[in-house]
Amino acid sequence: LAKTTQPISMDSYEGQEVNITCSHNNIATNDYITWYQQFPSQGPRFIIQGYKTKVTNEVASLFIPADRKSSTLSLPRVSLSDTAVYYCLVGLYSGGYQKVTFGTGTKLQVIP
Amino acid sequence: DAGVIQSPRHEVTEMGQEVTLRCKPISGHDYLFWYRQTMMRGLELLIYFNNNVPIDDSGMPEDRFSAKMPNASFSTLKIQPSEPRDSAVYFCASSFPGGKEANVLTFGAGSRLTVL
């Protein structure tokens, strides 16, 4: 399972775009990149997943460069309710079994 | 679907007592995961099942911890005897098998355990 590195914490003002970058230098060919969001006192919640280039949904965008050694989660115009911990995961069920392990995550604090 | 259902939501017990946490995964999800979360250690994977069979329990901290999945709709995590350092939030999660879907976990609300 590819190891990921992301900033421990970030602060942002309301209304700004927030970009959280995750490094995964040893990502394997078949690995997908998955992001989760966790609010206090709740379990993590799936946000977005991608393999290459760009993926967008109603919550966020995920940018993945051609070498796939990093990825950037983009949250447009954040609000106070986006204050949470964001986890980046890399891995794929590949016919064997895949442990889904979480790193330390990035604690995003949105400031009024 | 009601999502992943965990019980109890809160449990306070005394050291040495047996604790049983329960989980009902989403119907059709073949993977079931148990995690533990603390401030110091973050979110740790304890054990996971595929089609009711334990696949990897290397994250289970000690023999005091055991997990079972007698059928596709129910799993338990048992701690016997419990110790104060077991105090944490325990999450259950489930996912579909295969491909990228295996990385899309749905988590329950968690069981907050306090051992006095």
Q: Tokens 């070498």 belong to which residue?
A: A67
- Interchain CB distance below 8 Å, A100 and B103: yes
Residues of A with CB below 8 A from B95's CB? 100
Q: What is the pLDDT of residue B99?
A: 66
Record the tokens describing residue A43, joined without a space. 């379990």
Beta strands in chain A (DSSP E): 9-13, 18-23, 32-38, 45-50, 53-56, 61-64, 70-75, 84-91, 106-111
Residues of A with CB below 8 A from B42's CB? 102-105
- Interchain CB distance below 8 Å, A43 and B104: no
Query: How close A76 gets to chain B, by Cα (Å)?
Result: 22
Residues in a beta bridge with B5: B24
Q: For residues A4 and A24, give the distance between their C-alpha atoms in angstroms, rounded to a whole number.
A: 5
Q: What is the mean pLDDT of residues A68-94?
A: 90
Query: How close B7 gets to chain A, by Cα (Å)?
Result: 14
CB nearest A43 (choices: B93, B98, B100)? B93
> Between these two residues, A4 and B13, which has the higher pLDDT value?
B13
Which of B94, B87, B105, B106 shows the shortest CA–CA distance to B10? B87
Interface of B with A (CB under 8 A): 33, 35, 42-43, 45, 48, 50, 55-56, 91, 93, 95, 97-100, 102-110
- Interchain CB distance below 8 Å, A104 and B42: yes
Q: Which chain A residue shows the shortest CA-CA distance from B50?
A: A97
Q: Which chain B residue shows the shortest CA-CA distance from A106?
A: B42
Phi, psi angle pair for B65, to nearest 5°? -100, 135
Judged by average pLDDT, the poorest of A17-21, A61-65, A86-90 is A86-90
How many Cβ pairs closer than 8 A exist between chain A and B?
A: 66
Asked whether residue A4 carries a pLDDT value surpassing 80, the answer given is yes
Residues B8-31: tens digit of each pLDDT: 999 999 999 999 999 999 999 989
Q: A53-56 and A45-50: which strand pairing?
A: unpaired
User: What percent of chain B lies above the pLDDT cut of 70?
Assistant: 95
Asked whether residue A85 carries a pLDDT value surpassing 80, the answer given is yes
Q: Please give the C-alpha separations between residue A27 and each of A22, A23, A58, A68, B56, in angstroms, as whole numbers.
A: 12, 9, 26, 7, 22
Amino acid residing at A29: T
- Interchain CB distance below 8 Å, B42 and A105: yes
Residues A15-61: tens digit of each pLDDT: 999 999 999 998 888 888 999 999 998 999 999 999 998 999 999 99
Q: Which chain A residue shows the shortest CA-CA distance from B94?
A: A100
Residues B56-74: tens digit of each pLDDT: 898 998 899 999 999 999 9
Q: What is the mean pLDDT of residues A65-71?
A: 95
